[in-house]
Amino acid sequence: MRVHDGPVSAAISARRSVRKFARLTVDGDTVERLVALACTAPAPHHSRPWRFVQVGAESRERLADAMGEAWRADLERKGESVHVIDRLLRRSHGQLMEAPVLLLACLSLEGHHRWPDDERRRAERDMFVQSLGAALQNLLLAAGEAGLAGYLKGAPLFSADAVRSALDLPADWEPTFLVLLGYPDKSAELSPREAIDIDRFLVRR
Ligand SMILES: Cc1cc2nc3c(=O)[nH]c(=O)nc-3n(C[C@H](O)[C@H](O)[C@H](O)COP(=O)(O)O)c2cc1C
């Protein structure tokens, strides 16, 4: 059977991480629509394990500072130099402040099955995590259709308590990714995507 190239294949192929944005605002309705489409992703047990926080101008600095402090502590423990730490933190702080839209994606385990053993608890959790990935891909693809682009940052996974506290989130919302979105800057350069060597990723048994 041959897969026919159509608009879905084209949208999937065209999606790239873009990290440079034009100075244009994105209207609130568009953001709502993207989140609504994200929330149509497949999910286990008919759950809806995603929560999104649109981080507005007034909370950005607080969030960026809280994440920065958590990251600084991590890097210091790793023995990184003050010079390197300052450079990394400055860059990351700038990215969070400058993104036209900043969304925090959180995982909610509402509706999960409570297994008595660690192995199945881990498997159950993995199912919900996969679903979050599907929701984020939905969001990125829908953003592309709206002329937007952006990228994910996994940093909140490493500073979940600081993020939750900076944004005053419920205890059962697990901060996972930041989605930085905007209209792409025309000068944003994308390296060509490496061709997919199918034999590396697909085996037949
Ligand atoms: C789980 C995850 C975490 C990521 N974290 C970051 C990040 O912290 N910073 C960043 O610039 N890009 C991040 N990315 C984007 C990847 O770098 C990007 O998807 C990868 O380089 C492939 O490029 P493409 O998205 O253009 O195909 C992340 C992507 C995923 C899926």
Q: How many CA atoms lie within 13 A of 94 on its CB side?
A: 9
Mean pLDDT within 24-50 = 97
* Mutate-to-test residue for ligand 1 from 151, 157, 163, highest number of ligand atoms within 8 A of CB: 151
Ligand 1 binding pocket includes 141 (Cβ within 6 Å):
no
Ligand 1 binding pocket includes 132 (Cβ within 6 Å):
no
The per-type count for the chain, helices as H runs and strands as E runs, is 8, 4
Nearest CA residue ID for atom 6, ligand 1: 153
Nearest CA residue ID for atom 27, ligand 1: 16
Instruction: Give the CA angle between residues 149, 151, 156 to the nearest 5°.
Output: 145
Q: How confident is the model at residue 1 (pLDDT cuts 50, 70, 90)?
A: very low
The CATH homologous superfamily of the domain defined by 29-184: NADH Oxidase (3.40.109.10)
Report CA(34)–ligand 1 centroid distance (Å).
19
Q: For residues 175 and 163, is the Cβ–Cβ distance under 8 A?
A: yes
Q: Judge whether residue 4 has pLDDT over 80.
A: no
Nearest CA residue ID for atom 10, ligand 1: 153
Give percent of the chain with pLDDT exceeding 90.
95
Nearest CA residue ID for atom 3, ligand 1: 154
CB-based contacts of 72, cutoff 8 Å, min separation 6: 85, 89
Q: State how far the Cα of 97 lies from the Cα of 64, in Å rounded to an integer.
A: 8
- 57-66 pLDDT, tens digit per residue, is 999 999 999 9
Question: Across all residues in the chain, what is the average pLDDT?
Answer: 96
- 64-92 pLDDT, tens digit per residue, is 999 999 999 999 999 999 999 999 999 99
Distance of CA 67 to CAs 61, 62, 78, 135, 164, Å? 10, 9, 17, 23, 10
Q: What is the pTM for the complete model shown?
A: 0.95
Q: Judge whether residue 166 has pLDDT over 70.
A: yes
Q: How confident is the model at residue 2 (pLDDT cuts 50, 70, 90)?
A: low
Q: State how far the Cα of 55 lies from the Cα of 105, in Å rounded to an integer.
A: 11
Q: For residues 121 and 195, is the Cβ–Cβ distance under 8 A?
A: no
Across 143-178, b (16+ Cβ under 10 Å) vs e yields bbebebbbbbbebbeebbebbbebbebeeebbbbbb
- 93-148 pLDDT, tens digit per residue, is 999 999 999 999 999 999 999 999 999 999 999 999 999 999 999 999 999 999 99
Q: Which pLDDT value is given to residue 88?
A: 97
Q: Which pLDDT value is given to residue 5?
A: 86
Q: How confident is the model at residue 189 (pLDDT cuts 50, 70, 90)?
A: confident
Q: Which pLDDT value is given to residue 124?
A: 97
The single residue listed with the structure tokens 């394990």 is 49
pLDDT, greater one: 188 or 180: 180
Residue 181: how many other CB atoms lie within 10 Å: 25
Ligand 1 binding pocket includes 154 (Cβ within 6 Å):
yes
